[in-house]
Chains A and B, each alone.
Chain A
Amino acid sequence: MPTLPPQLTDWFTSRGWSIHPHQSAMLAKAHQLATLLIAPTGGGKTMAGFLPTLAELAEHEHQGLHTLYVSPLKALAADIRRNLRTPVDEIGLPIRIEDRTGDTSATQKKRQRADPPHILLTTPESLALLTSYEDAPHMFAGLKRVVVDEIHALAESKRGDQLMLALARLQTLCPDLRRVGLSATVEDPQAIAQFLARHPDPCDILMADPGPDPDICMLETEEMPPWAGGGAAYAIPAVMDQIKAHKTTLIFHNTRAQAEIFFHNLWLANDEALPIGIHHGSLDRQQRERVEAAMVRGDLRAIVCTGSLDLGIDWGDVDLVIQIGAPKNVKRLVQRIGRANHQYNAPSKAFLVPANRFEVVECVVALEAVKDHALDGEPRGDGPRDVLCQHILVAAAAGPFVANDLYAEMSSAGPYAGLSRERFDACLEFCATGGYALRAYDRWQRLMLRPDGRWQLRDPRSAARIRINLGTIQDTDTLKVRLKRSRGGKPLGEVEEAFAASLTPGDTFLIGGQIVRYEGLREMTVEVSRNAAKKPKIATFSGTKFATSTQLSTRILDMFAQADWPQLPGHTADWLTLQRRTSALPQRGRLLIESFPHNGQEHTCVYGFSGRNAQQTLGLLVTKRMEELGLHPLGFVATDYATLIWGLDPLTDPGPLFQIDALREGLDTWLAGNAVMKRTFRGCATVAGLIERNTPSTRKSGRQATFSSDILYDTLLKYDPDHLLMQITREEAMRGLVDFGRIEEMIARVGTRIDLRRLERVSPLAAPLLLEVGKVPVKGSAEEKLLQEESMRLMDMSGLTQLG
């Protein structure tokens, strides 16, 4: 047993606490270069990460920064600061603890750079910003440890890649820096360890006792779940009963829109006026903070939330977690369940509430997977190069650099361990000149090679532009929503620009639990008034939509193969029986396609069971083929299990549509012009620094001066299709939004075993798809045809047919 300094031992004893085995193991490993701790929520994970710091600071006086703590959430940094303060103050240790996030004041930030605290708590973005200053070596001098919290969450996005590049920079400044990662339960700890450690350093993995299995089941309701929809309104009375029976309930939703609807319905049923709050990423920050504070005080009985509450903030005494809607991914479900009951060694209690019949099936298989401890996850690919480009610019902002040294540093970051010099050079070239086939910017290079062999910014003033555009979080273009005539009143939240554009004055939608009426757009703000309508038009601010994992999809298909379904509620079993009788159930190893007329259009439903993203891609590829075959597709919608396509003509021969060679061969050209690629391009181009998100003086009025990134994409496609950014876009799309791998897998699995069913009407299984949001229009000949029709109609209507 390694020794804890006596003051600390005494403090633990005085509290009647004993150190968890994994906490003392972390102390024993304090000297290791890299350690990854995997522990369930409530297992004293953060304390395990900080004990070595407290021990070292209690025993030796330290000048300057000792430990850097990085978490994905600002709120988490503030929360940890409060939690650390207690032992430090009570023991009387002379330790300065401060946080630094986007919310920290400018004065405070300046002081922290000149005179850093012993422990600094921050986010990946704020850390990257710190490394971009010329005085970074001064600020980080003497840094001993870095603790990365919720590393499993960071590893899922570009924020993690950015963080690991920043750590590589810190390691150059402080060669004996030790790294600690704290993670929730994950399916592949080794991958996270390699992500964390300096390449090729080893990384120890410590597994804490996972605690008892959760107490989890489907919530029993009097009413049956509906055929379609995501609102789960039918479950409101049952959920209300559970809220009343528990102290604090977290009610998780997969999307913000669903959270809004549910919250609205819950309020209508809240006859005892229990304090219930809502929390999601589209709400205004002040509103979110009010809810968080009320939660910590224990004032709330329930919070309706989304992934914005996924991470490990200590939200007080949560004793029940309810997941509304299918969990999509077993790992995330297990992590969410862990939010309930912070007592170590007591089972967490959770209910699943399927929003519709299909989700009943998904929930049942998810419960089986949880029982089997079968987590799911996709392997993490190499770090994306748009983040690398941004980090090269960050390095340049900090001062001149030698390419060889920067390459060595960056390829020591776990995600970039496999980075070839050639690929690095292409990124450097992009940062310097744009990297175009047409050499254009000799005079106006962004980076210049100095005679002494070091690279520097041509114009030192551009460092400011680099800093304000730093970060990898992709904000969709959102507009603030404000009450009209509230003169500088607080914003209610934000909606996506595309959603705002679809509104006509008089339309109603839900935001922050209220129904509001759209009044108009003023200076890039959506103006609304309160409205007492009962049925709102729903805000489609999407939040993140996760694809159902391969594991869950396979488990569903396996269940479909059963002769009957004793594990399903009767209504759902009846529904599947009806589907089997009127059409067929999808099977593993075969591809079911249904074709039917509906509302005057021909529909084709393809049950690929490949997850939302792959089904979306399948929609793009198949509609392109249908366009070529003259079937006039108009659009499609994808869910995790199927793609529904509508158009003017019926599909009679599916064979030509699903040949993998043809799909793969044409993928590049087929995808080249579509919206998914353009959306991905916008993200990559922003991260890589081609498009500025912010300018030093952002002027919102000059709208005609800005042009869409789609134009840049189209231009590159036409004149420079192999440009670095096009390569990065393709790579990202293939593994993310395009997810072509799962299409290949599906087609390999089914071969020629394609069953086309021609039906008279929509099938039980296809019906929910008609109600899905997120429909993708096909920009083909049908659009020109419709436009001409619409033009004639509008001109006739307005009596303007004769112009002149």
Chain B
Amino acid sequence: MNGLNFTFRGTPLTALESGALWWPEQRLLSVSDLHLGKSERYARLGRGTLPPYETQDTLIRLTEDLERTQPSVVICLGDSFDDTAAAHALDEEHRLWIAKLQAGRQWYWIEGNHDPGPVEMSGSHVAELTLEGLTFRHIADPDATGEVSGHYHPKARIRMRGRTLTRPAFLVDDRRIIQPAYGTYTGGLRSEDAPVCDLMGRDSRAILVGSTPCLVPMPR
């Protein structure tokens, strides 16, 4: 598995090429901002009929990550569904697919700003979760320490020999990790843009995801 190992507050973690975070000691996999059902929501709101394949595509990638890591605990870090109605409208096929992924695992749905209400999916629905000193919540709390969050869909842009490259990225400093969005139909906010930039400390790093995750000082 292509991943980049790093230590966060004494805890060894792996940033996977897909944008998932792997915590080997806990056998825990965290993914953020799946935005399942985005195309359904767009169509419902009359914003066009996008190719309706993003739920399938996101679930295929999640399945691959689960097969490779075999986690005991899965955390979906919020905005798992594009909104509550999109969760309700999920295809039977995709519902069963998720149920199969959940079998034999502890599965946490963290509340997001897009899907705050309780959904009737099985798994535990929580506002946030603390495990061994790490707190998983959707939106970063500026005062928190030892926190893993999502929400901002961070991306990082680097220049190399006259060429610019932008990829989704983990942002890491000594207090927090912000995970990139995992869902197929998700854009991103650059690390230098105000809300994320302000959250991250002086020595922040970015881990660009892609076939070989890659570590750089966080561009700001």
Which A residues lie at the B interface, using CB under 8 A? 433-434, 436, 438, 440-441, 443-446, 458-459, 461-462, 465, 501-502, 635, 689-692, 695, 703-708, 711-712, 715-716, 718-720, 723, 777, 783-784, 786-791, 794-795, 798, 800, 803-804
Are the CB atoms of B7 and A803 closer together than 8 Å?
yes
Q: How far is the CA of A408 from the CA of B215 in the complex (A)?
A: 60
10 more CB-based (< 8 A) A-B contacts, given A784-B212, A790-B216: A436-B49, A444-B44, A458-B46, A465-B47, A690-B50, A711-B184, A716-B53, A783-B163, A787-B165, A803-B172
Q: How far is the CB of A684 from chain B (nearest CB, A)?
A: 14
- In the assembled complex, which residues on chain A have CB atoms less than 8 Å from the CB atom of B211? 784
**Nearest chain A CB to B5 CB, angstrom units:** 9
Question: How many Å from the CB of B197 to the closest CB on chain A?
Answer: 12
**Closest chain A residue, CB of each to CB of B161:** A786
Interface string of B117-139 (1 = CB under 8 A from A): 00000000000000000000000
List the B residue with the shortest CB-CB distance to A464. Answer: B46
Within the complex, the shortest CB–CB distance from B83 to chain A, in Å, comes to 12
The chain A residue sitting closest to B151, CB to CB, is: A704
Would you call A438 and B49 a contact (CB within 8 A)?
A: no
Instruction: Select B48's contact among A691, A706, A716, A800, beta carbons within 8 Å.
Output: A691
Q: In the complex, what residues of B have CB within 8 A of residue A465's CB?
A: 46-47
Contact A715 B212 (CB under 8 A): no
Q: Nearest chain A CB to B195's CB is how many angstroms away?
A: 9
The 0/1 profile, CB within 8 Å of A marked 1, for residues 171-200 of chain B is 010000000010011111100010000000
B143 at interface by CB-CB < 8 Å:
no
A690 / chain B contacts, CB cutoff of 8 Å: 48-50
Chain A residue contacts of B186, Cβ below 8 A: 704, 707
A635 to B165, CA, bound (A): 14
CB closest chain-A residue, reference B193: A703
Contact call A707/B187, Cβ cutoff below 8 A: yes
Q: Which of B149-182 contact A (CB under 8 A)?
A: 152-153, 157-158, 160-161, 163-165, 172, 181
List of B residues within 8 angstroms of A438 by Cβ: 52-53
Contact B50 A434 (CB under 8 A): yes
Task: Give CA–CA (A708, B188) in the complex, Å.
Answer: 9
Interface pair B193/A434, CB less than 8 Å apart: no
Contacts of A444 in B (CB 8 A): 40, 43-44, 46, 49
Whether the Cβ atoms of A703 and B187 lie closer than 8 Å is yes
Assess whether B46 is in contact with A706, with CB atoms less than 8 Å apart.
no
Among candidates B49, B181, B193, B217, residue contacting A433 with C-beta atoms closer than 8 Å: B49
Q: Which of A441, A777, A798 contacts B43 (CB 8 A)?
A: A441
A-side contacts of B181, CB under 8 Å: 704
| Known contacts A703-B193, A704-B187, A715-B57; A441/B49 CB under 8 A | yes
Residues of A within 8 A of B161 (CB): 786, 790
A residues near B48, Cβ cutoff 8 Å: 446, 689-692
Q: Are A459 and B46 in contact (CB-based, < 8 A)?
A: yes
Interface residues on B, range: 35 or more
- Interchain Cβ contacts within 8 Å, total number: 133
Once the chains are docked, how many angstroms separate the CA of A723 from the CA of B53?
Answer: 13
Chain B residues with Cβ below 8 Å from A691 are 48
Residues on A with beta carbons closer than 8 Å to the beta carbon of B39: 440
With a CB–CB cut-off of 8 A, which chain B residues contact A704?
152-153, 181, 186-189
| A803 and B215 in contact, given A438-B53, A703-B189 (Cβ under 8 angstroms) | yes
State which of A441, A777, A795, A803 has its C-beta within 8 Å of the C-beta of B52. Answer: A441
Distance of A440 Cα from B57 Cα, bound (Å): 15
Q: Which residues between 46 and 92 of chain B lie within 8 Å of chain A, taking CB atoms?
A: 46-54, 56-57
Provide the residues of chain A in CB contact with B203, threshold 8 Å.
800
Taking a contact as CB atoms closer than 8 A, the residue among A458, A716, A800 that contacts B51 in the complex is A716
Whether B6 and A803, one on each chain, are in contact in the complex, defined by CB atoms closer than 8 angstroms, is yes
B8 contacts partner chain A, Cβ-Cβ < 8 Å = yes
* B155 to A, closest residue via Cβ: A704
Residues of B within 8 A of A707 (CB): 185-188
Q: How far is the CA of A801 from the CA of B72 in the complex (A)?
A: 32
In the assembly, what is the distance between CA of A789 and CA of B215, in Å? 11
User: Distance in Å from the Cβ of A688 to the closest Cβ of chain B?
Assistant: 10
Please indicate the chain B residues that have their CB under 8 angstroms from the CB of A803 in the complex. Answer: 6-7, 172, 205, 215
Instruction: Give the residue of A446, A459, A715 whose beta carbon is less than 8 angstroms from that of B184.
Output: A715
- Please tell me if the beta carbons of B53 and A804 are within 8 angstroms of each other in the complex: no
Complex contact A720–B214 (CB within 8 A): no
Q: Say whether B46 contacts A440, CB under 8 Å.
A: no
Nearest Cβ distance between residue B208 and chain A, in whole angstroms? 8
Q: Is the CB of B158 within 8 A of A790?
A: yes
Bound Cα distance from A279 to B8, whole angstroms: 56
**How far is the CB of B58 from the nearest CB of chain A, in Å?**
11
**B46 to chain A: closest CB distance in Å?**
4
Q: Give the residue of B44, B46, B53, B210 whose beta carbon is less than 8 angstroms from that of A720.
A: B53
B179 CB, nearest partner CB in chain A, Å: 13
How far apart are A637's CB and chain B's nearest CB, in angstroms?
Answer: 12
User: B164: which A residues are within 8 A, CB to CB?
Assistant: 501-502
Residues of chain A within 8 A (CB-CB) of B51 are 434, 436, 712, 715-716, 719-720, 723
Q: Shortest distance in angstroms between B166's beta carbon and chain A's nearest beta carbon?
A: 8
The smallest C-beta distance from A800 to any residue of chain B, in angstroms, reads 6
Q: Is the CB of B216 within 8 A of A795?
A: yes
Q: Which residue of chain A has the shortest Cβ distance to B49 in the bound complex? A: A434
Write the nearest CB–CB distance from B163 to chain A, whole angstroms.
5
CA distance A787 to B4 in the complex (A): 14
Give A634 Cβ to nearest chain B Cβ, in Å.
Answer: 8
The CA of A791 and the CA of B216, in the complex, are separated in Å by: 5
Q: B163 to chain A: which residues have CB within 8 Å?
A: 635, 777, 783, 786
User: Does A788 contact B47, Cβ atoms closer than 8 Å?
Assistant: no
Q: Check A787 against B214 for contact (C-beta < 8 Å).
A: yes
B185 / chain A contacts, CB cutoff of 8 Å: 707, 711-712, 715
CB pairs A–B below 8 angstroms (29 shown): A434-B43, A434-B50, A438-B53, A440-B52, A441-B49, A445-B49, A446-B49, A461-B46, A465-B47, A635-B163, A690-B48, A704-B187, A705-B187, A707-B187, A711-B184, A712-B51, A712-B185, A716-B53, A718-B57, A719-B51, A719-B53, A723-B51, A786-B163, A787-B158, A787-B212, A790-B160, A790-B216, A794-B217, A798-B217
